[in-house]
């Protein structure tokens, strides 16, 4: 990395022009009803599963749509022959098996060069038997591998008491919504229609029916894993002996659970894997296509498609509340009459989206707490998002002095956020005290993402929110700050669970510490500033890759600069009082130099995280509002009498 120059130079490009161009483009992207929503892209897995779901159900072939999805899959294939989890990432077995299967199902010749490369890459790494549990489930549904190759997950789980070591309340919302309908599939053991009779036997090095149990994942602890493996063996042997009436009662409970949370055209959990499983569950139980529940569940999936002229893909979910709240913050920073007017329109869209009447799954830990949060998606009332709620509140608080009074919405959200604080002083994304870490060692949890424990980034956002609305000296903030102090890495950074990665976490925490009144000369702040300035790239930007989530992380590894990560670093440094630091000036110059003619920034890299090491995200909005936010803040601080950031973000 380059040594930063101490020479103070103004950015090479006109900052006002850059801000105005980006603001115009962001305003033009606003929907007529006031909200913003940008595409949310994952890896090859979701679009591949979408194709395979249609063939599983035996639906009429949509050749035009499949051709577009095939074009998308071919474009994102890696140089290694397989498909990665993020842009230019390493080969991933499960993503590659699904992408190959989907392309073959669409009609791609197995002798086509890209298919040969993919097949060779799969076989060179042990074959499709090395795929993860969720891929094994897909292969079992198609009849390619035996059901015994899957971990035992008895549907009687639905009847377990809350004190039992495994209970739905002890796992994350996304795990719950995916697992419950999956339990029905494991009982019914349906088989795909697969009218084209496509198979992928060529991806196995041995007979698919000889596949053994799921191996231990790298992050799983051996003692715990083998303990659970023994239990798994017992359950496999015992399940045929379970009373049929008990099994039926558990199946009915699962159906009732899903039906209550079906969520209309937004789908179960408003995430693709749960939505797809619910459709297959209704199908396995004999519900016809025209049944209202099955029909709406199937319709919800179509709303996830991102359609373009030559390509298409299926999104894992949509992010309207998140995109809208962050766009509001950005435009409030930009200022001006038009920006403020459009923010008012956006906040009026957000106001009725607050969940005030549905007591979601989070009540298992907080039964006396009133609801008051916002979901991430258009609707997901059982699963309000702590992070989204904090960001919405901060936007409303910032706007209420010049716009309508949002005090009632803010007060109700504040009550919910404080109530969701975990015993450690931290906050998780959807639940509190969801820290049953031993469960990540069960054979089913090879992905390592069964739980929703408290994290530094979400905790930081809640502290920022509470401090911004006048509670910087409150007990909840003090406990949260104590947690953040304990969690700082030795190098000076903080972990980013939902954004990539330590740059995101460090930005979040520096904003929180500033809002909470922590002196900028405190050791934690100085170490974080030193870390951010040390990892700046020679081009003036910042970047960090998905490999930063590896289990043997030993410190920052250089990665190409991105606009969103550069913006996070800049916003973090400015929150720490470093507006005049030469690193900030170089970062601002980087953003201005790399801005596109359309006012936005080109960012093919994935800078967000679904599940570390398993599932990554590319928010198409991140390169549209975060860089603009950083530029506008820099201009505002340079023009102000103070260099202090007075807002939570």
Cβ atoms within 10 Å of 261's Cβ, excluding its own: 24
pLDDT at 89 over 90: yes
pLDDT at 10 over 90: no
Q: Two tokens at 340?
A: 């403020």
- The whole-number average pLDDT for the span 13-42 is 96
Residue 3: the pLDDT is 34
Q: Are 524 and 584 in contact (CB under 8 A)?
A: no
**pLDDT band at residue 403 using 50, 70 and 90 as cut-offs:** low
Residue 402: the pLDDT is 67
Per-residue pLDDT of 578-637, as tens digits, reads 999 999 999 999 999 999 999 999 999 999 999 999 999 999 999 999 999 999 999 999
Per-residue pLDDT of 244-269, as tens digits, reads 999 999 999 999 999 999 999 999 99
b/e burial code for range 447-471 (CB count within 10 A of at least 16 → b): bbbbbbbbbbbbbbbbbbbbbbbeb
Residue 13: the pLDDT is 56
Candidates 281, 366, 298; CA nearest to 54 is 298
- The whole-number average pLDDT for the span 297-324 is 98
Average pLDDT, the chain: 96
Alpha helices, DSSP H, located in 400-450: 407-419
- The whole-number average pLDDT for the span 405-418 is 96
Q: Which domains does the chain have, with CATH numbers?
A: 15-40+317-639 (1.50.10.20), 41-200+211-314 (1.50.10.20)
**pLDDT band at residue 63 using 50, 70 and 90 as cut-offs:** very high
Residue 8: the pLDDT is 39
- The whole-number average pLDDT for the span 189-195 is 98
Which DSSP category does 381 fall into? T
In the numeric block, the tokens 């993919």 are attached to 118
Instruction: Name the helix (H) or strand (E) containing 460.
Output: helix 456-466
Sign of torsion over alpha carbons 172, 83, 300, 372: positive
pLDDT at 46 over 70: yes
Catalytic residue at 387?
A: yes
Which of 43, 387, 388, 397 is an active site residue? 387
């Amino acid at each position: 990395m380059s040594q930063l120059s101490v020479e103070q130079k103004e950015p090479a490009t006109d900052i006002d022009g850059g801000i105005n161009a980006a603001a115009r483009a962001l305003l033009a992207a606003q929907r007529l009803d006031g909200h913003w929503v940008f595409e949310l892209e994952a890896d090859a897995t979701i679009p591949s599963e979408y194709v395979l779901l249609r063939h599983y159900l035996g639906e009429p072939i949509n050749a035009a749509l499949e051709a577009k999805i095939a074009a998308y899959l071919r474009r994102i294939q890696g140089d290694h022959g397989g498909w990665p989890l993020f842009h230019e990432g390493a080969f991933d077995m499960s993503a590659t098996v699904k992408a190959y299967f989907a392309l073959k199902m669409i009609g791609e010749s197995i002798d086509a060069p890209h298919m040969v490369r993919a097949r060779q890459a799969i076989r060179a790494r042990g074959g499709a038997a090395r795929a993860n549990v969720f891929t094994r489930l897909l292969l079992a549904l198609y009849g390619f591998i035996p059901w015994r190759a899957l971990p035992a997950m008895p549907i009687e789980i639905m009847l377990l008491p809350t004190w039992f070591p495994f209970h739905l309340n002890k796992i994350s919302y996304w795990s719950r919504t995916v697992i419950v309908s999956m339990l029905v599939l494991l009982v019914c053991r349906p088989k795909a229609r697969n009218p084209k009779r496509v198979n992928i036997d060529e991806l196995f090095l041995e007979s698919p029916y000889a596949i053994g149990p799921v191996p231990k994942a790298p992050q799983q602890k051996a003692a715990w894993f083998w303990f659970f493996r023994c239990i798994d063996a017992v359950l496999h042997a015992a399940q045929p002996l379970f009373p049929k009436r008990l099994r039926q009662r558990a199946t009915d409970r699962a159906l009732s659970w899903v039906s209550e949370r079906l969520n209309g055209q937004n789908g179960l959990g408003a995430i693709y894997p749960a939505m797809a499983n619910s459709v297959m569950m209704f199908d396995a139980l004999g519900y016809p296509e025209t049944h209202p529940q099955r029909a709406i569940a199937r319709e919800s999936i179509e709303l996830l498609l991102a359609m373009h002229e030559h390509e298409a893909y299926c999104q894992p979910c949509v992010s309207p509340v998140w995109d809208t709240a962050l766009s509001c913050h950005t435009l409030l920073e930009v200022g001006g009459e038009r920006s403020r007017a459009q923010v008012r329109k956006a906040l009026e869209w957000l106001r009725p989206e607050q969940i005030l009447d549905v007591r979601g799954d989070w009540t298992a830990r907080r039964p006396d707490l009133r609801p008051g949060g916002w979901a991430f998606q258009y609707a997901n009332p059982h699963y309000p998002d702590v992070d989204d709620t904090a960001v919405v509140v901060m936007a409303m608080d910032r706007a209420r002095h010049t716009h309508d009074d949002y005090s009632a919405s803010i007060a109700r959200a504040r009550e919910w956020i404080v109530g969701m604080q975990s015993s450690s002083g931290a906050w998780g994304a959807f639940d509190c005290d969801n820290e049953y870490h031993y469960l990540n060692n069960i054979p089913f949890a090879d992905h390592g993402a069964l739980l929703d424990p408290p994290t530094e980034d979400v905790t930081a956002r809640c502290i920022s929110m509470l401090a911004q609305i006048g509670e910087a000296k409150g007990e909840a903030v003090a406990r949260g700050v104590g947690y953040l102090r304990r969690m700082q890495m030795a190098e000076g950074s903080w972990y980013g669970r939902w954004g990539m990665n330590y740059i995101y976490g460090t930005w979040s925490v520096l904003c929180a510490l500033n809002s909470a009144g922590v002196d900028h000369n405190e050791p934690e702040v100085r170490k974080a500033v030193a870390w951010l300035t040390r990892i700046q790239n020679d081009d003036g930007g910042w970047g960090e890759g998905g490999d930063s989530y590896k289990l043997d992380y030993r410190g920052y590894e250089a990665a190409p600069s991105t606009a969103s990560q550069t913006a996070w670093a800049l916003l973090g440094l400015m929150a720490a009082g470093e507006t005049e630091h030469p690193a900030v000036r170089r970062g601002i110059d980087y953003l201005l130099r790399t801005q596109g003619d359309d006012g936005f920034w080109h960012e093919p890299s994935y800078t967000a995280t679904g599940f570390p090491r398993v599932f990554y995200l590319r928010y198409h909005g991140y390169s549209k509002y975060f860089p603009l936010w950083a530029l506008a803040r820099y201009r505002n601080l340079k023009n102000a009498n103070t260099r202090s950031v007075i807002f939570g973000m």
